[in-house]
Each structure stands twice: as structure tokens, then as C-alpha cells.
Amino acid sequence: MITIGEFDIISVQTGTFRLDGGAMFGVVPKVLWKGHEDVDDENRILLATRTLVAVSKDRSTVVLVDTGNGTKWDEKQAARFAIAHDETAIDRALAEHWGLQRDNVTDVIATHLHFDHNGGLADWADEPGGGTRPAFPNAKVWLHAGHWHHANTPTEKDRGSFLRHDFAFLDGSSALQLVEGDSPAAPWDGVRFMLSHGHTPYQLLPVFFDDSHELIWTGDAIPTASHLRVPWVMAYDNEPLKTISEKYAIFERVRQNDACLAFPHDHRLGGGELDFAKNKPFVARTLDL
């Protein structure tokens, strides 16, 4: 656990899954990435899904950042991505660290609505394939309006990453809190939002900060520590050149503010403090997240 301002923060691994290694590293050849990754015989690499859990000192504000793959997977689909979702991981973390339950979750920051980030927003209400119910019944869900529009009208390229049943319950719901514009304000002291567009439009990346610390949730701009290498950009990205310039912007922030990074998909570490060798960033110290 780390403490930044009013928030105690942990990174909870809510499961693992596998995606094609070539797709995860774009133009980078396998000969360069295979030594760094756990690759299976289908060429898929091991990834985690992580949720950042931030709880205020008085426990009145309980914020989750992203919710993982969720529970609405049939056997065939789960096998395609080797999805192993730990559906009680967040409950256990809330109980163990704070004596809280999922009903106490006040807010979810949904960076974006790809299934591996926010399939966990909703569960099947009764029958698989029927209606859904919110997995965190008392939580507001914060999302950028531009991304909400995109999720409902995706490109041919990223259509497969959006599953309507993950977020249909938000349509017309008072739980949905859309932020707007190029520098949207976050509703909590000690939190800012950054925007990232390269992976998917209007990805909403929270930054937790106080006078001496800053923690950036990198979202799918830098999904794992391996992606700290600037050209290692996912083939999934709608605009890879934007992702590259956004990585440089994040690194600039690391240098200026001594910011640390929290990664959504790294199965080896929740986050790290960076250092630079010949201008190339690397994890100098793993964060105790």
C-alpha cells in the first residue's frame, strides 16, 4: 500500500488472460520481445488485469480504477483469451485492508470500455445472456463523454474490444458521470485526469498527487513495464503515433514531478519508480502497491 494525500492506494490483480504477443508489441519482432514475456504455444503472452483501489483516510470515498474482465464469459470465449477472472479479489482486498465491502465502493473510474478493462462493471442479473446488473451497485462510473460516444460507435479496428453487455446498463443511468473537454476536472482533491487518445479516443487516466508524490495510472498507453520502450506499441491502437507522443508526455511528467507509474496489465508488478539510462526509461524500483 502507498499513501498519497488523502488516499491509501493498492493495486489488486483481478485475474490473468492472454493476448497475441505480436498484437501486444506491434511492429517489434518476436525475437526482441520473447525473452521478456511468458509466451504460450498459441503465441499468446501472459497479462494481468489490475484494479487500482484508492480509499480516503475516513473511508468515505472508495475509488476503483478499472474492473478487469468480469464474470460474463462462456467457456469458449474465455478459452480464446485464457481468461481467469478472480471475482472476489476486490472484495478480499477491501475487507482485508479496510474492513469494507463492494457496497462501499463510491466511484469507479473507467479509463475506457474495452472488455479487459471494464468487463467487471456488470454481472449477469440472472441467466447468462440475459440482463445485467451493476457489479458495484452504489458506485458512480466516471468516463469521458468522448469515449462513451466512441464505445457506442467504435471503429472497425476496435469493435471487437467493446462488448455491449459490459456497459449497456449505464445507458440512461444516474450512475454514469461523463466528464467533458480537453482538461476535465476530477471530483476529488488530490486527483487529476490526463487524457490519452492513441490507444482509443478519450482514455481517462487518473493521476493521484500530493505535495511530494504523484502516481499515474498509465492505462493502455503503457499497459506493462515492457511497453516503457517507446516503439513497443500495441497493434490494437487506433493511432500508434499518438501513443508514442503520449508516452513521451508521461515520461516528461515522471522527470518533472518525480511521478511513479501504475500499470494495468503487468503480471510481474503493480507499478514502479522510473529511472532513465541514455534517455530510456526503466523501472528502478518496484512500488509496494
The contact set with Zn ion (CB under 5 A) reads: 114, 220
- The residue (of 11 and 196) whose beta carbon lies closer to Zn ion is 196
- The residue (of 219 and 281) whose beta carbon lies closer to Zn ion is 219
- The residue (of 5 and 264) whose beta carbon lies closer to Zn ion is 264
What's the closest the beta carbon of residue 49 comes to Zn ion, in angstroms?
A: 11
Q: Which long-range contacts (CB under 8 A, 24 or more apart) does 248-251 make?
A: 250/194, 250/216, 250/218, 250/221, 250/222, 251/276, 251/281
- The residue (of 112 and 140) whose beta carbon lies closer to Zn ion is 112
What's the closest the beta carbon of residue 25 comes to Zn ion, in angstroms?
A: 15
Burial of 35 (0-12, 13-18, 19+ CB in 10 A): exposed
For residue 234, what is its C-alpha cell?
500495441
What's the closest the beta carbon of residue 112 comes to Zn ion, in angstroms?
A: 6
In 10 A of CB 227, how many CB atoms?
23
**Beta bridge mates, 214:** 209
**Cβ atoms of residues 61 and 188 within 8 Å:** yes
What's the closest the beta carbon of residue 270 comes to Zn ion, in angstroms?
A: 18
For residue 10, what is its C-alpha cell?
493498492
- The residue (of 2 and 18) whose beta carbon lies closer to Zn ion is 18
What's the closest the beta carbon of residue 29 comes to Zn ion, in angstroms?
A: 23
Q: Would residue 113 be called left, alpha or beta, if left means φ above 0 and alpha means ψ between -120 and 50 degrees?
A: alpha
Cβ neighbors of 94 (< 8 A, separation 6 or more) are: 53, 55, 62, 100, 101, 102, 104, 105
Burial of 251 (0-12, 13-18, 19+ CB in 10 A): buried
- The residue (of 114 and 147) whose beta carbon lies closer to Zn ion is 114
What's the closest the beta carbon of residue 117 comes to Zn ion, in angstroms?
A: 6
